[in-house]
Structure 1
């Protein structure tokens, strides 16, 4: 998150902001976001709209996020699959970054503080949500238990369109069920018979 982003996201003044980052488990991702901005897949954002990112640039981006998640993980091994997937993408980078747009992140359901339990924690950093006096927790649409600190899930979703837990594609539109058959037409048909 950019400088001052904590205050903006939480709607508080800078002097009120005291995020609990004393554990050192939430790394500064400003370099990651700078690299991501340079590799933005919206062609209008590039100086040369026909240029694609180089594989080395994409590999570095995936490596940066894998390193950040490994740092957040600490000594545990809860996110080995996420890190392995990012390392695999770094070794075999795609041609372009395929992540969710900011509008998707802005539309994610926010979990109110009163709905959080004391033992609820982020599925990425592992820190309890309520350790932060102003938790900004989002719930992914794939499952109600897939809750994350927005600061933790944002970088993953900026380069992946899948949930890090169940790998469901979050950008696929659900097809609505077909409408029920209209029984009213039979009533009208009987009147004209």
Structure 2
């Protein structure tokens, strides 16, 4: 079976196909497209939000089953604990980022990836894929993920899985006006 990259770019798969370690998230994307509306008066129901959280939890549980280290296990369990907390008292709206945000995330060129670099979620080496699609989150330059792994989390939560900072927040630059200058009424000398 061809990878999404190969299908999108009309590349014929070469050799033995690699097993897909990532669960299919098409049902999550379909659900999110239904409940994310541009109508400000149309809010998703708690059941819709709960369903989206369950789908992301299913993805993380799949990775937890295949966890390769205690560090990965602890990381995935912390993400699942946050999802569990959200499922107990779902918010009134999805807190995640829009798909356009995922499309605009900074991509990491293959040349900048090291052989030992791994996705924190699936623990697969980035260079283990012929066409890695690695993104870096704006909160920290070292927070790199496979887009297929971090995308569902960001669509539902909108925070970095590593440090839980909101990824859509921009740094506010405070402008300080110098009060010592005289007001010349907008005229220049």
- What is the TM-score with the length of structure 2 in the denominator? 0.80
1:148 corresponding residue in structure 2 = 145
Whole-angstrom CA distance in 2 between matches of 1:135 and 1:19: 18
Alpha-carbon distance, 1:7 to partner: 3.6
Counterpart position of 2:33 = 37
Distance 1:15 1:153, change over 3 A: same
- Aligned residue pair count: 176
In structure 1, the gaps of 5 or more residues are 44-48, 187-193
After superposition, what is the alpha-carbon deviation per residue over 1:161-182, rounded to whole angstroms, capped at 9, x for unaligned? 211110111111112254796x
Q: Judge which range, 137-146 or 66-75, deviates more.
A: 66-75
Aligned counterpart, 1:62:
53
1:127 matches 2:118: no
Change (3 A) 1:126 1:19: farther
Q: Which residue pairs with 2:5 in the alignment? A: 6
The 1:106–1:42 alpha-carbon spacing in structure 2 relative to 1, beyond 3 Å, is: same
Answer yes or no: is the 8 Å Cα contact 2:6–2:12 preserved in 1.
no
Q: Which runs of 4+ in 1 moved over 6 A?
A: 17-20
Change (3 A) 1:113 1:90: same
Unaligned 5+ segments in structure 2 are 68-72, 183-189
Structure 1 residues 103-112 or 133-142, which shifts more?
103-112
Offset at residue 12 of structure 1 (A) = 2.6
Q: Deviations over 1:75-128 (max 9, x none)?
A: 431311111111221221111112112232122111011111111011111111
- Pick closer, same or farther for the CA change 1:66–1:128 going to 2, 3 Å: same
